[in-house]
């Protein structure tokens, strides 16, 4: 009975008011779903791309001495046993021993301060960096442009070391051949980091025969949860600390967190528009069929069955709109991922193209919320059906 009535009422004439209103509601739900899914995919893609690049710089987790800072980087004697324990962690990709020192790079009349990171030949740079051979300094394109360098140039590097008074002193310069290449778009890191051979820096700073490091960078298949990092920190020796990428680059992660606020505002507005348009369409549909509803009430049909009839008709419209929005969004995400059609300004957004990644869990949450709100939109027509005065409704034109 309910299905038959729903199909019969669905055959409205071409000039019916409800037909245009229902189309508007369907289009609103479709566009709302499309925009929300694309927004979620963009934010998810931004997070993955930027966190991957940040992890290539510093690792997902960093083990270093307590009290370390940009200017004070205490040395640790390389501990093969500790490295072995770290390499047994779940989802671990690599454990990179590094030796990082502040330095001044001088080329002609130009000078700049950088952090020189000494890396071993098996350094895992997640495909962004390559390992420089001994005697070479690997810098970003941004830093090379600032210093007016190219890959055929040489540069003098003055390493800074702490003195007995707590200050910094310059060591005698070392001459490096410059290699220009990497560009991550993370300006604060591109302009402040240079890579060198771990053997070169150990020759300068480590006692003879003692392989020293300043930290161990741990790379994982996926960023570890804070609970996992906390458990790992309990297994470490008491003279070292464990830092996450968020601890090392807090401003970058705060910027990513702000994106969630924007997505929440956009989603709330779109859901509100969808709720209002759905409620208006459903109420118009009920009003247009007011005499039929009154006649069914007069014949003894329960209000809940009448409401179920309208809900059956409207459920198909809601589901089709939501699913179609998901499919179109998935198609656009695939096209952008494969062909990078939408560019970005890397000076502002750190990336040169819009990254997108399908976020299945949040997409299902958005779809479920849209369907639930569509159900809530039926409450207003439901109240009208329950309070309808049959005698007045039968006299409606």
- pLDDT in the model for residue 13: 47
Mean pLDDT of 1-19: 49
- pLDDT in the model for residue 2: 45
Asked whether the predicted pLDDT for residue 156 surpasses 80, the reply is yes
- pLDDT in the model for residue 163: 67
- pLDDT in the model for residue 372: 85
Note whether 214 and 338 are same-domain residues. no
Note whether 32 and 66 are same-domain residues. no
> What would the pLDDT profile of 253-262 be if each residue is shown by its tens digit?
888 888 778 8
Residues with Cβ within 8 Å of 155's Cβ and at least 6 positions away in sequence, in order, are 105, 106, 107, 137, 147, 149, 175, 176, 178
CA distances from 363 to 213, 273, 282, 315 (A): 44, 18, 25, 19
Lowest mean pLDDT segment, chosen from 124-128, 310-314, 316-320: 124-128
Structural Rg of the chain based on CA atoms: 31
Q: Is residue 363 part of a domain?
A: yes
Mean pLDDT, rounded, of the chain: 80
C-alpha–C-alpha distance, residues 244 and 234, integer Å: 14
Across 70-84, 258-272, 303-317, 328-342, which has the greatest mean pLDDT?
Answer: 328-342
| Selected residue with higher pLDDT from 350 and 202 | 202
Across 284-298, 301-315, 343-357, which has the greatest mean pLDDT?
Answer: 343-357
Q: Cα angle vertex 196, ends 136, 249, to 5°?
A: 140
> What would the pLDDT profile of 94-119 be if each residue is shown by its tens digit?
899 999 989 999 887 788 989 999 99
Mean pLDDT of 359-363: 87
Across 32-36, 261-265, 288-292, which has the greatest mean pLDDT?
Answer: 32-36
> What would the pLDDT profile of 11-47 be if each residue is shown by its tens digit?
554 444 456 767 777 888 888 889 889 988 998 898 8
Q: Is residue 235 part of a domain?
A: no
Q: What is the DSSP letter of 72?
A: -
Note whether 74 and 203 are same-domain residues. yes
Mean pLDDT of 249-275: 82
Note whether 198 and 88 are same-domain residues. yes
Q: Is residue 243 part of a domain?
A: no
Are 159 and 204 within 8 A, CB to CB? yes
**Torsion (CA) 35, 369, 30, 268 in degrees, nearest 10:** -40
Q: Is residue 244 part of a domain?
A: no
Asked whether the predicted pLDDT for residue 184 surpasses 80, the reply is no
Q: What percent of the chain has pLDDT over 90?
A: 16
- Report the relative pairing of strands 154-162 and 174-180 from DSSP bridges: antiparallel
Are 148 and 141 within 8 A, CB to CB? no
| Selected residue with higher pLDDT from 288 and 366 | 366
DSSP secondary structure string, 196-243?
A: EEHHHHHHHHSPTT--EESEEEEEESSPPPHHHHHHHHHTS-TTEEEE
Q: Is residue 199 part of a domain?
A: yes
Note whether 272 and 381 are same-domain residues. yes
Across 160-174, 229-243, 375-389, which has the greatest mean pLDDT?
Answer: 229-243
- pLDDT in the model for residue 330: 95
Q: Is residue 82 part of a domain?
A: yes
C-alpha–C-alpha distance, residues 57 and 59, integer Å: 6
> Domain ends where: 176, 203, 222?
222
> What would the pLDDT profile of 74-98 be if each residue is shown by its tens digit?
888 888 988 988 888 888 888 999 9
Q: Which domain holds residue 174?
A: 61-222
Note whether 87 and 180 are same-domain residues. yes
Note whether 167 and 204 are same-domain residues. yes
Query: In 3-state terms, the chain is what percent helix, strand and coil (to 5)?
Result: 55, 20, 30
Q: Is residue 230 part of a domain?
A: no
Instruction: Band the pLDDT of 230: cuts 50, 70, 90.
Output: confident
Q: Count structural domains, the chain.
A: 2
Mean pLDDT of 4-13: 50
Note whether 194 and 275 are same-domain residues. no
Note whether 193 and 262 are same-domain residues. no
For 29, list phi and psi in degrees, rounded to 5.
-65, -40
Note whether 364 and 273 are same-domain residues. yes
Lowest mean pLDDT segment, chosen from 64-78, 367-381, 383-397: 383-397
Q: Is residue 364 part of a domain?
A: yes
Note whether 310 and 278 are same-domain residues. yes
- pLDDT in the model for residue 271: 81
Lowest mean pLDDT segment, chosen from 155-159, 215-219, 280-284, 342-346: 280-284
Note whether 68 and 135 are same-domain residues. yes
Asked whether the predicted pLDDT for residue 391 surpasses 70, the reply is no
- pLDDT in the model for residue 389: 59
Instruction: Band the pLDDT of 196: cuts 50, 70, 90.
Output: very high
């Amino acid at each position: 009975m309910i299905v038959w009535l729903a199909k019969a009422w669905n055959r409205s004439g071409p000039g019916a008011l409800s037909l245009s209103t229902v189309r508007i509601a369907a289009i609103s739900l479709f566009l709302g779903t499309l925009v929300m899914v694309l927004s979620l995919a963009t934010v998810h893609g931004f997070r993955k791309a930027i966190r991957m690049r940040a992890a290539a710089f510093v690792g997902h987790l960093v083990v270093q001495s307590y009290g370390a800072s940009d200017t004070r980087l205490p040395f640790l004697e390389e501990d093969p046993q500790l490295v072995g324990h770290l390499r047994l962690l779940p989802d671990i990709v690599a454990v990179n021993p590094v030796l990082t020192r502040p330095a001044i790079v001088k080329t002609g009349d130009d000078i700049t301060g950088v952090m020189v990171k000494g890396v071993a030949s098996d350094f895992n740079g997640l495909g962004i960096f390559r390992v420089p051979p001994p005697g070479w300094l690997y810098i970003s394109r941004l830093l090379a442009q600032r210093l007016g360098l190219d890959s055929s140039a040489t540069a003098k590097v003055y390493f800074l070391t702490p003195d007995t008074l707590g200050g910094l002193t310059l060591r005698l310069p070392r001459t490096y051949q410059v290699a220009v290449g990497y560009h991550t778009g993370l300006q604060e890191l591109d302009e402040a980091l240079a890579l060198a051979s771990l053997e070169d820096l150990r020759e300068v700073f480590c006692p003879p025969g003692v392989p020293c490091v300043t930290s161990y960078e741990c790379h994982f298949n996926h960023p570890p949860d804070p609970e996992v990092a906390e458990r790992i920190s309990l297994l470490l020796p008491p003279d070292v600390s464990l830092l996450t990428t968020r601890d090392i680059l807090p401003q970058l992660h705060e910027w990513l967190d702000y994106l969630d606020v924007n997505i929440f505002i956009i989603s709330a507005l779109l859901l509100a528009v969808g709720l209002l348009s759905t409620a208006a369409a459903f109420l118009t549909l009920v009003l247009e069929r007011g005499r039929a509803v009154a006649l069914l009430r007069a014949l003894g049909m329960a209000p809940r069955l009448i409401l179920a009839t309208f809900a059956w008709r409207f459920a198909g419209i809601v589901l089709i709109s939501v699913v179609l929005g998901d499919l179109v969004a998935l198609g656009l995400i695939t096209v952008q991922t494969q062909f990078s059609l939408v560019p970005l300004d890397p000076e502002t957004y750190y990336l040169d193209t819009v990254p997108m990644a399908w976020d299945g869990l949040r997409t299902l949450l958005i779809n479920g919320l849209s369907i639930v709100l569509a159900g809530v939109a039926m409450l207003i027509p439901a109240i009208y059906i329950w309070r309808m005065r049959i005698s007045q409704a039968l006299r409606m034109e």
